[in-house]
Amino acid sequence: MITIEFEQDALKGVYCLKVKGHADFDEYGKDIVCSAVSILTYTVAKAVSFMYEEKKLYKKPNVILEDGNATVICKPKEAFHEEALHILLVAEVGYSLLEQAYPDHVKLKPFGKA
């Protein structure tokens, strides 16, 4: 099962996405659930990296993209919190749809529930 967790540290102004595990929906290389989770995760990582390039983050985001393990942590500047949160909330909706469609393979802990 893939677990997806969103966290926000309001005091530090940090957002975090953690993805762990494998869907085990199909064999490696043919698993559509893993593929869907992966593309959403890579999209968040790239969007946050674009924010850094545009000088909207205090520092380079912490991005780990490994097989069965991904983490994206960012700290946006004050004026760009809504933009960062929007990126993560759109992904959260996508992960939620996957959890609804494949509840035996995806477990989501959205913001405020981790």
CA distance 111 to 15: 10
- For the stretch 57-73, pLDDT in tens is 999 999 999 999 999 99
* CATH domain 2-105 topology: Alpha-Beta Plaits (3.30.70)
Can you give the pLDDT at residue 95?
A: 98
**Under a CB-based contact definition with an 8 Å cutoff, are residues 5 and 110 in contact?**
no
DSSP state of 79: G
- For the stretch 15-43, pLDDT in tens is 999 999 999 999 988 999 999 999 999 99
- Tokens describing residue 8: 């926000």
Question: Residue 112 — pLDDT band, cuts 50, 70, 90?
Answer: confident
Question: Residue 114 — pLDDT band, cuts 50, 70, 90?
Answer: low
Can you give the pLDDT at residue 54?
A: 98
CA distance 71 to 88: 12
HSE-up of residue 97 (Cα within 13 Å, Cβ side): 8
> Where are the domains positioned within the chain?
2-105
Q: Could you tell me the maximum CA-CA distance found in the chain, to the nearest angstrom?
A: 44
